[in-house]
Amino acid sequence: MSQHEIDEPTGVDTTGHEWDGIRELNNPLPRWWLWCFYLTIIWGVGYTIAFPAWPLINGATAGLLGFATRAEVAADIDRYAQQNAGLTSALAKVELASLADNPDLHRFAVANGAAVFRSHCSQCHGSGAAGAVGYPNLLDDDWLWGGALAEIAYTVKHGIRNETDDDAHYSQMPAFGDLLEEEEIAATVQYVLQISGADHDTTLAQDGAALFEEQCTACHGEQGQGDRSQGAPNLTDAIWLYGGDTTALTATITNARFGVMPAWGQRLSPSDVNAVAAYVHGLGGGE
């Protein structure tokens, strides 16, 4: 077997290995090629020592170089935070009314605010800020507590009807189911439909006008135009937070509503509050 032979058709050496009459040709590689192969093995072993590699029960070997992708991300975040430190501190202190005069800071605020919004606000208001039933749409021009930049920032910072921040916006609509008869509520509903320009029952609405005057104008105003100081919605426009049909309005008047928003000033940094306010202000409804 160890004798080597020349294969006649190809003129190539054989290795001397033979299986069932089939002989292996010897087309040799250069030796440096073999050394490169050994080198990759050595490199591979070194690599598993230097970098995280061998799986253990809880995690893997850390590697001598202490490399970790998580640490890299953390370092990246730190680096960006450091790069943006000037803008961040300027944003925390800025007079919001004059933010638009500083295009660089404004651009930074909106970009930063978009990120804050996606992580903290989109759960209720939606990733596109279109809201949902009971959670205001932030894209439109209707604001319960004011749509100027500073007003939005205040709402974000202190929240609405929460128990954690004494400065939170607060108001409470009575549950008229305890105060009015069902027929009276039905009449009030028809009147509200009338002032909002929807189809309604004219006779019932006439009765409702008196009830509205008596029960609702203190907060919602003489014409039902609402009052932002109390977060009382404008009832004459086309926007309904909890729905504008008879069933939804009846439920609203009977049981009242009590929408709560957390005080984000307790969780976000002042610059993040201003950033997200700038972002929301720039979504199309800002005043």
Partner 1 sequence: MTGTDTPPSLYAPQEPIFPRRVSGFFRRLKWWIMAITLGIYYLTPWIRWDRGPSLPDQAVLVDLAGRRFYFFWIEIWPHEFYFVAGLLIMAGLGLFLFTSALGRVWCGYTCPQTVWTDLFSLVERWIEGDRNARVRLWNARWDARKWRLRLTKWSVWLLIAVATGGAWVFYFTDAPTLARDLARFDAHPVAYVTIAILTATTFLFGGFMREQVCIYMCPWPRIQGAMMDDDTLTVGYRDWRGEPRGKKRTQGAGDCIDCMACVNVCPMGIDIREGQQMECITCALCIDACDEVMDRIGRPRGLIDYLALSDEPQERAGEAPKPLWTHILRPRTMLYTALWSLIGAGLVFALFIRSDIDLTVEAVRNPTFITLSDGSVRNSYTVRLRNKLGDARQFRLSLSSDALLRIGLEGSDRNIITVPADSSTMQRVYVTARPHDRAASIDATDLRFWVEDVENGARAYRNASFNGRVQ
65 binds partner 1 (CB under 8 A): no
CA distances from 71 to 61, 65, 67, 77, 240 (A): 15, 12, 8, 10, 47
Neighbours of 96 (CB within 10 A): 19
Total of residues contacting partner 1 (CB under 8 A):
35
Q: Which stretch binds partner 1 (CB under 8 A): 5-13, 168-176, 215-223, 247-255?
A: 5-13
9 binds partner 1 (CB under 8 A): no
CA geometry: angle 129, 133, 137, nearest 5 deg: 25
Using the minimum distance from each CB to partner 1, give the nearer residue, 25 or 45.
Answer: 25
Q: Which of these, 42, 143, 149, 135, lies nearest to 94 by C-alpha position?
A: 149
Using the minimum distance from each CB to partner 1, give the nearer residue, 165 or 237.
Answer: 237
- CB of 286 within 8 A of CB of 276? no
- Provide the CB-side half-sphere exposure for 60 (13 A, CA): 13
Smallest distance from the beta carbon of 18 to partner 1, in angstroms? 11
34 binds partner 1 (CB under 8 A): yes
CA distances from 233 to 74, 136, 171, 229 (A): 44, 11, 11, 10
237 binds partner 1 (CB under 8 A): yes
- CB of 161 within 8 A of CB of 258? yes
**3-state DSSP call for residue 176?**
helix
| Residue carrying the six token digits 């995280």 | 52
141 binds partner 1 (CB under 8 A): yes
142 binds partner 1 (CB under 8 A): yes
- CB neighbour list of residue 206: distance below 8 Å, 6 or more residues apart: 191
Q: Which stretch binds partner 1 (CB under 8 A): 31-39, 79-87, 204-212, 269-277?
A: 31-39
Q: Which stretch binds partner 1 (CB under 8 A): 3-11, 39-47, 56-64, 90-98?
A: 3-11
What does the alpha-carbon distance between residue 187 and residue 253 come to, in Å, rounded to a whole number? 11
20 binds partner 1 (CB under 8 A): no
79 binds partner 1 (CB under 8 A): no
**Residues 85-114, mask of contacts with partner 1 (x by CB under 8 A):** ---------------x--------------
284 binds partner 1 (CB under 8 A): yes
Instruction: Classify burial at 26, counting beta carbons within 10 Å of its beta carbon; exposed 0-12, middle 13-18, buried 19 or more.
Output: middle
Among 48, 52, 84, 140, the residue binding partner 1 under the rule CB under 8 A is 140
Joined together, the tokens standing for residue 180 give: 């009015």
Using the minimum distance from each CB to partner 1, give the nearer residue, 54 or 242.
Answer: 242
Q: Which stretch binds partner 1 (CB under 8 A): 55-63, 132-140, 175-183, 206-214?
A: 132-140
Using the minimum distance from each CB to partner 1, give the nearer residue, 16 or 134.
Answer: 16
Site residues, partner 1 (CB under 8 A): 2-6, 8, 13-16, 26, 28-34, 100, 126-128, 130, 137, 139-142, 197, 234, 237-239, 282, 284
